[in-house]
A and B are shown apart, each in its own frame.
Chain A
Amino acid sequence: MSHDRELRKGSAEVLILSLLDERDRHGYELAKLIEQRSDGALKFHVASLYPTLYRLERRGLIQGRWVEKNGQRRKRFYRLTAGGQKMLASQRRSWSAFFSALNRVARIRPA
C-alpha cells in the first residue's frame, strides 16, 4: 500500500468498523475478511491489525470480550459500540465525499 500513513490508518479504521457493523468478529476473521473482500488488495497482518484494534477499543469505538467455547481456544470478539456506530456513519460520509471529489477531479470511480 502506497497511501500515506494517515490515510492507511484512517481507511483501516473504517474497514474494521464497517465489518463489525455487520456482526461481532474476532481478529483473525477481520483480517481474513478484509483480504477476501478486497480480493487481496488490502492486507492486514497481525503487527498492524492489533494495534489498530486496541486503539479503537481505547477510544471506545469497539469493545472486546473473551468468549470460550468447549474444546477450543478462547477467542476475543469485538463488537461495535454506539460511539463506533456514530463514528462509522460520519467516516462513511466523509469517505464518500472524498471519493466523489477525487472522481470529479481525477476521474476515479470507487470500486
Chain B
Amino acid sequence: MPDWQRLIRARVAPLSELDAAREADIVDELAQHVAEHYAELVATGVADADAVERALAPLNDPARVAREIARADRPRRAAPVPPPAGGSVVGHAGRDIRYALRLLRRAPGFAAAAIVTLALGIGANVAIFSVVRAVVLKPPPYRDPTRVLSFLNSQSSAATQPGSSLPDYEDWKRQLTSFESMGLLSGWTFNITSLELPERVFGARVTGSLFPTLGTAPLLGRGIEPADDRPGGDEVVVLGYAVWRRLFAGDPGIVGRPVMMEGRPHIVIGVMPPRFRFPTGEVELWAAIKDNMTGMPRNSRFMNVVGRLKAGVTLESAQAELDATTAQLEAAYPETNKGWRVRLVGAHEAVVGNTKPALMALAGAVGLVLLIACANVSNLLLARASSRRRESTIRLAVGASRGRLVAQCLTEGIVLSTIGGVCGIAAAYGAVQVVVAFGPADIPRLSETAVDAPVLGFALLVAILAGTLPSLAPAMRASRASSLKDGFGDYSTTGRSRVGAILIVCEVALAMTLAVAGALVLKSFARLTAVPPGFNSERILTLKVFLTPPGYRTVASAKQYIGSAIVRMASVPGVEAAAAISQLPLGDPSSGQPFTIEGRTFAPGERPAADYRAISPNYFDTLRIPVRQGRGISEDDRENGAMVVVVNEAMARRFWPHEDPIGRRIHWATGYPQFDSPPHTIVGVVADIKSDGLDKPERPAVYAPYTQRAFPWMRWSSFVVRTRGEPESMARLIRQELTKIDPLQPIYQVAPLDDVLAQSVAARRFHTGMIDLFALLALALCAVGVYGTIGYWVAERSREIGVRMALGATGRGIRAMVVARATTLTAAGVVLGIGLSLVTSRLLSSLLFAVRPSDAGTIATASVVVLAASAAAAYVPARRASSVDPLTVIRGE
C-alpha cells in the first residue's frame, strides 16, 4: 500500500496559510479518500500502478487544489479593490479614504503600530501647545491688549526686578504724551474679618485709573473708577472671580454689600470675570487707594505701573519718550535714580516672560518627538509599499495616473494621522487635566490650560503634517513604480533599505538630541537639589501672620504679638524651638534696602543695598544657621539697648573683604527718616543661606533684632518652629495657641519647611520631568524604528543569511552581523545628534544649573543609552535571523 500522506503532500502545494495541525488534518482526510478510491479500483481488478495513478489524478493541479482548499477553509474577506481611475476629485478622495480604511482593517498590526506612534507624537504636541497657548499665546482679557504696557525698572546692581516708585509714576504720568492713561497697583495683604473665620487674601491697592487703563468689562457691577481713589466717601473693593466663588459662594447679590477689611468696611462694587488676572493670579481682589501716599521716597520701588498707548503710537516711540524722561529724572534725582533704566514691555509679556524659555524648550522637545514618530510611520509605510508594488504596477497599467497613485498614498497617510490625531487629542485632553491639577503653581495661567477650539485647530494642522510627511517617501516610490512590462519584481531592495537607513539615522539623531537634553536637565536638577540650603529644614514648621488694623496699627503692637507668639509656640508640648523672621527663606521675595557705612562716602545713586531681615533672638539656633564670627542676636538686644545687627558672609565679603566687619557701623538710607536712624553696630557674621532659590547666590543681608527697628513691614511676619515629631502633626496645636493671642488674625501658609524647599524647585521639577518624559518617549519610538528597519533588513537578507549559515556561519556570527549593521546606523545618528544637541541646547539654558550644555560626561552617557537601546532593539531581529533553518530559507527560493 502506497504512503498516501506522502504522495498527497507532494501534490498539494504547502497550505502555507493554514496552521500545521489543520494542514495535517486535511492531508489525512484527502489521503483517506484517495486510499478508499484506490482500494476500490484494485478490487475491481485495476492494476496496482494504474490504480495509484487514477486515484491521484484529480490532484494533478496541486496549486489549484491548495488554493481552493485554503480559500474554502479560511474565512477571508475579499481583497479591497483599488479605486478606479477617472471621476471627480471629491469622488477620488472619498474612494481613496474608503480604500485606505479597508486596507488598514486588513493589516491591523501595521495600523495599530502607526496609529499609536502618531497618537503619541500628536498627543504630546497638542498637550504642550495647549499649555503654551494658555500661558503665553492667549491674549489677556484687556481691551486691545497689545496697547497695555508694563513699566519694568532695572539697575545693573539690583539683583531682582523691583517695581516702580510712586514719585516716578507721578512724573511719568505728568510728562509722557504717548499714553492715553496710566494706572498704579501696589500688592497688599488683606484680612477679611467679616466672614465666619478670618481670611487672609492677597490683593492690591490700585489707583482709580488702573481699571480704565486695562479696560476689562466686569462680570458684575463696575470696576474701580477715578472718583474712587479720592479722599472721602466709601472705601471700595472689586473681587476676583476665584475669591468671589471661594469666600462668597458666588453670591450674585454681593455688589453693594460691605466686607470688613483692615478693620474698615469696604463696599463690594464689582466682580471680575474668571480670566481677569492682574498682575498675576495671586492677586485676588483690588481695593482703591484712599490714603494719599505723599512723602513716599523715590527709591522705594515696589509698585506695578501700566499704561495704555494712545492709538497709533508705537512701542518704540513710547520707549524713546520714556528714555528721555528717565534721563531727566536721573539728572534731577541722582541720589535715587542714577543708573536706573525703565523698559516698556507688553503687560502680558511682563508676567509670563520668565516662563517662556522653558516652555519653548518643551515645545521644541515635543516637536522632535513628532518628527521621530513621522520617521517611524514613514518606515512602516515604505515597508508596506514594497509589498504592494504589484498593485501599483497593475494600476499604472490599467490607466491610473501617477498623480492618482501619489494621492492614494497621501490619503492613506492622512487617514492614519487623522485616527492617530483623534486618539492623540483624547490623550492630550487627559494629560491637560493632570497638568492643571498637579502642575506647579508658579507657572502663571497654567490653570487656564484647556483643549479648546484653537488647540483643536492646531491638532488638525499637526495631524495633516504628521500624515503628509511620512507618506512622502512611499508616494515618491509609488510614482516611480515600473511599468507592467518590467514585471512584478520587488522594488530594488537596496533603494528601500537606503531610505530606511537614512530615516533611522535621522531618528537616532533626533532621539539623541532629546536624550542629551533629558540628561542635561536631569543632571542639573540633581545638582540643584543637592545644593545645601544653608539651614536645616528637618522637622521645621513654617507659618505666617499678617497683623491687621485696628488691633495692630502700631509697630509696637505688632512686636508685642510676635513676642508672645514665640513664647506661646515654644510652650506647646512637642515644640523644641520657635523663632520669627520677616522673610522666610525661599518662600518670600527679599528686597534690598540702601544703606551707608560709617566712615565711607558713596557717590549719589551708588549707595549699596542689602536685604533686611528682622529676626527673633533664637532664629539662627532654630534653623541651625552657623555663626561664623562674633555672636548672633541675643535676648539682651532689647528695644532700647545698643542697636546691633548681624551680617551674612556675602555682605562681609563684599564690603569688608580684607577687614574685620565686627564693630563697624551702618546706617539705613531708605528715605524714610523715621526708620533710618540711628546707626547699627555689626556684632556677628553668619553663614550664607539660599534665600532666593537654590540656584541663586546669596545676596548681602543684614539680620536685625525685630525689637529694635520701628519698621512697618513688621506686620507681615513668618514663624519657624522646630518640632520633635512630624511638623505637620503639630500644626493644629500651634495654630490654636496663636488664636489664643488674637482670634481675628488668620494664620496662613502653614507648611513644613521641607515643602517650602520643594516648592521652590517645583517649576523646574515640572519642566525636567516633562523633558525627560519626552526623551524617554523619543528613545522608545526610536527603538521601535530600529527594530522595524533592522527586521526588514533581516527579512530582505534571509537568503543571504541562509547561505552564510549553510556555509558554516554560526548563529552568533549572524547576530553580530545584524547588530553591527544596527550599530553602524545608530552610531552615525548619535554623531549627528551630538552636533544637533550642541546647536539646540542653547534653548535649554534656562533649565540648566551647574552643567554646561556641552558637558562631555552627559553626552557620553546619553550616547551609551541610545546605542544600548538601539542594540537591544536590533537584537530581536538578529536572534530571529540566527535561528532560521538554512535549508528552509534556501529552498524557499
What residues make up the interface of A, taking CB atoms closer than 8 Å to B?
Answer: 26-28, 31, 45-52, 54-55, 58, 66, 73-76
Contact = CB atoms under 8 A, between A and B. Distances in A.
27 contacts: A26-B32, A27-B32, A28-B32, A28-B33, A28-B37, A45-B57, A46-B30, A46-B33, A46-B34, A46-B58, A47-B65, A48-B68, A50-B30, A50-B33, A51-B68, A51-B71, A52-B72, A54-B69, A54-B73, A55-B72, A55-B73, A58-B75, A73-B31, A73-B35, A74-B32, A76-B29, A76-B32
Given A50-B33, A54-B69, 11 more contacts: A45-B57, A46-B58, A47-B64, A51-B72, A51-B73, A55-B73, A58-B73, A74-B28, A76-B28, A76-B29, A76-B32
Interface residues of B, number: 24
Contacts of B69: 50-51, 54
B490 interface: no
Contact of A28 (B36, B59, B71, B75): B36
Contact of A27 (B33, B64, B73): B33
**Across the A-B interface, the 5 shortest Cβ-Cβ residue pairs:** A45-B58, A51-B72, A51-B68, A55-B72, A54-B72
Contacts of B72: 50-52, 54-55, 58
Contacts of B31: 73
Nearest to B60: A47
A105 to B, nearest CB: 34
B26 interface: yes
A50 B29 contact: yes
B61 interface: yes
A71 B65 CA distance: 30
Interface in B23-70: 25-26, 28-37, 57-59, 61, 64-65, 68-69
Contacts of B65: 46-47
A31 B29 CA distance: 13
A58 B59 CA distance: 23
Contacts of A58: 72-73, 75
A10 to B, nearest CB: 15
A43 to B, nearest CB: 10
Interface of B: 25-26, 28-37, 57-59, 61, 64-65, 68-69, 71-73, 75
B35 A27 contact: no
Contacts of B64: 47
B13 to A, nearest CB: 12
A74 B57 CA distance: 23
A27 B75 contact: no
A48 B65 CA distance: 8
Contacts of B73: 51, 54-55, 58
Contacts, number: 59
Nearest to B62: A47
B350 to A, nearest CB: 73
Contacts of A49: 33
Contacts of B61: 47
Nearest to B34: A46
A56 B749 CA distance: 77
A109 to B, nearest CB: 32
A47 B33 contact: no
B328 to A, nearest CB: 96
A24 B188 CA distance: 95
A31 B68 contact: no
A31 B32 CA distance: 13
B548 to A, nearest CB: 84
Contacts of A66: 25
Contacts of A48: 58, 68
Nearest to A75: B32
Contacts of B25: 66, 76
A27 B68 CA distance: 16
Nearest to B31: A73
A47 B58 contact: yes
B30 to A, nearest CB: 6
Nearest to B65: A47
Given A47-B64, A55-B72, A73 B32 contact: yes
Contacts of B33: 27-28, 31, 46, 49-50
A29 B266 CA distance: 104
Contacts of A26: 32
Contacts of B26: 50, 54
A16 to B, nearest CB: 13
A98 B540 CA distance: 97
Contacts of A27: 29, 32-33
A76 B28 CA distance: 9
Identify the interface centre among A26, A54, A55, A66: most chain B CB within 10 Å of its CB.
A54
A31 B55 CA distance: 13
A50 B65 CA distance: 9
A25 B303 CA distance: 100
A28 B28 CA distance: 13
Contacts of B71: 51
A60 B30 CA distance: 21
B57 to A, nearest CB: 8
A45 B69 CA distance: 13
Nearest to A58: B75
B495 to A, nearest CB: 40
B54 to A, nearest CB: 10
A15 to B, nearest CB: 16
A66 to B, nearest CB: 8
A52 B58 CA distance: 15
B37 to A, nearest CB: 7
Contacts of A52: 72
Contacts of B68: 47-48, 51
Nearest to B71: A51
Nearest to B75: A58
A31 B33 CA distance: 9
Contacts of A54: 26, 69, 72-73
Contacts of A51: 68-69, 71-73
Given A28-B37, A54-B69, A58-B75, A46 B59 contact: yes
A50 to B, nearest CB: 6
Nearest to B22: A54
Nearest to B39: A28
Nearest to A44: B58
B30, B32, B34 interface centre (most CB from chain A within 10 Å):
B32
B841 to A, nearest CB: 61
